[in-house]
Amino acid sequence: MAKEIERKYLVVDNSFVEMAQSVVHICQGYISRRPDGTVRIRIKGDKGFITIKGKNEGVTRDEWEYEIPLNDALQMLEKACEGSVIDKHRHIVEYDGYTWEVDVFHGSHEGLIVAEIELTSADEKFSLPPFIGQEVTGNSEYYNSNL
């Protein structure tokens, strides 16, 4: 079991686009959206994944992620997921020794841009890139499982 320690922010401008080292297309859906734990199916580029996440405890939660066959992921997104499938492009930005994941949402969430940083401890100090705005860590309105 791994621990995910993550902070999440709204993005205020598009300067991250020129700063990005790579971009990948992601589609994801949820088999379970329970507050105590979610089960997510994701297609990232040409690979499929299933991820189970525990309940948030501040900025930390348990996480298990496994690669699964792409065709299985496609079928699960179509047949087993509840709600709408999230469609987004993830920009990877290296800034001051940290990796930021900036998600640009499409479809019904067009216009939403959120940046996340994964940390090794909850009290870790880091610099904010210029495109970072309001912190929304812990705000369930911005959980992917609620979008």
Alpha helices in the chain (DSSP H): 15-19, 70-79
The candidate with the shortest Cα–Cα distance to 87, out of 147, 28, 41, 4, is 28
DSSP one-letter code for 142: G
Name residue 89's beta-bridge partners.
25, 104
Q: Is 9 a catalytic residue?
A: no
- C-alpha to C-alpha distance for 69 and 74, rounded to whole angstroms: 9
Instruction: Report how far apart the first and last C-alpha atoms of the chain are (Å, whole number).
Output: 26
Find the catalytic residue in 9, 30, 142, 143. Answer: 30
- C-alpha to C-alpha distance for 6 and 55, rounded to whole angstroms: 13
**Which residues are marked as active site?**
30
